[in-house]
């Protein structure tokens, strides 16, 4: 597990963009697992900049988003479909046929629908690089506390905490979605490489629990301790509760010196 401590959000975003760009350059047909949330916006900006200025090519990439609110149509201002279009897809050359985001308006057999999402990931030969943010309660995707570490893509009921955290994005009179379709913890852990981004003091407690706390379904991001290739990119404010900060800095220095490929 690599913990990259960055001094602020801009640096964090640049580093995350650099890692994703390098994955795409090394494998132009990479399958990317994508996340939404305000934390990821700077990274997408950086990728858009690299596409516009340096010709970073996404034409062969396939993408799978982690989750979508149940009940929100793709053009709803708060839908993750819309987020992805506005922050990324509208500005780069990802082939629309290769973009996958759970359909929030699906109304049939959810189990079958979620199985088909898993099938599509397998048909794309699995996720090469999975991007994650983290919820204040330690969730990744919408895998709320107590989600099974074996869980797959499924319908998930949101906790009150998550609903409250996200209420600010919805208009006052609007009803907040109570459920989402999300990749499971088991799905996420099958990605070959995982990158988790966290910024700001509101995430400091949960980031420390995820990295240094016990592995527990009560903080689902702690499952990442089981994965062989995870990089956390964290800014100062989100990292203040980490006890081993000095050690992570030394690991970064030594990794850059002896095994720089791990940082690319
Ligand atoms: C939502 C998403 C998560 C994301 C989280 C954090 O809950 N389902 O994937 O990590 O928001 O969002 P933010 O980056 O805005 O704090």
pLDDT at 171: 87
CA–centroid distance, 262 to ligand 1, in Å, is 26
Instruction: Give the pair of three-digit tokens for residue 148.
Output: 């099974």
Whether residue 65 lies in the annotated active site:
no
Give me the mean pLDDT over the 32-59 stretch: 98
Q: Report pLDDT for 37.
A: 95
pLDDT of residue 129: 98
Per the prediction, the chain carries an average pLDDT of 97
Check pLDDT > 90 for residue 263: no
Residue 162 has pLDDT above 90, yes or no: yes
Please state, in angstroms and rounded to a whole number, the distance separating the CA atoms of residues 219 and 194.
17
pLDDT of residue 102: 98
In the annotation, is 261 catalytic?
no
Which residue among 68, 137, 209, 235 is the active-site one?
137
Q: What is the per-residue pLDDT for 174?
A: 87
Q: Note the pLDDT of residue 261.
A: 87
| Nearest one of 8, 38, 34 to 165, comparing CA atoms | 38
β-bridge partners, 216: 219
Q: What is the pLDDT of residue 132?
A: 98
Best residue among 130, 134, 188 to mutate for probing ligand 1, ranked by most atoms within 8 Å of CB: 134
Beta pairing, strands 179-182 & 31-34: unpaired
Whether the pLDDT of residue 262 is over 90: the answer is no
Evaluate if residue 212 carries a pLDDT over 90. Answer: yes
């Amino acid at each position: 597990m690599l913990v990259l401590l960055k001094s602020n959000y801009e640096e964090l975003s640049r580093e995350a963009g650099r890692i994703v760009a390098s994955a795409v350059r090394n494998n132009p047909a990479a399958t990317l697992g994508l996340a939404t949330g305000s934390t990821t916006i700077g990274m997408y900006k950086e990728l858009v900049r690299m596409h516009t200025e340096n010709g970073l090519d996404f034409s062969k990439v396939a993408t799978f988003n982690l989750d979508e609110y149940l009940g929100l149509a793709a053009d709803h201002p708060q839908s993750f479909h819309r987020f992805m279009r506005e922050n990324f897809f509208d500005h780069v050359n990802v082939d629309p046929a290769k973009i996958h985001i759970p359909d929030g308006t699906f109304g049939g057999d959810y189990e079958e629908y979620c199985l088909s999402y898993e099938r599509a990931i397998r048909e794309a030969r699995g996720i090469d690089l999975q991007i994650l943010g983290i919820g204040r309660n330690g969730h990744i995707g919408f895998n709320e506390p107590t989600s099974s570490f074996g869980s797959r893509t499924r319908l998930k009921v949101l906790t009150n905490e998550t609903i409250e955290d996200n209420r600010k994005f919805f208009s006052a009179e609007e009803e907040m979605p109570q459920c989402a379709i999300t990749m499971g913890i088991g799905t996420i852990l099958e990605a070959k490489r995982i990158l988790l981004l966290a910024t700001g003091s509101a995430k400091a407690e949960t980031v420390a629990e995820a990295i240094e706390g016990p592995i527990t379904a009560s903080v689902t991001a702690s499952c990442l301790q089981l994965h062989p290739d995870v990089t956390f990119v964290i800014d100062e404010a989100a990292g203040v509760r980490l006890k081993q900060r000095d050690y992570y800095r030394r690991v970064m220095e030594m990794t850059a010196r002896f095994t720089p490929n791990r940082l690319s």
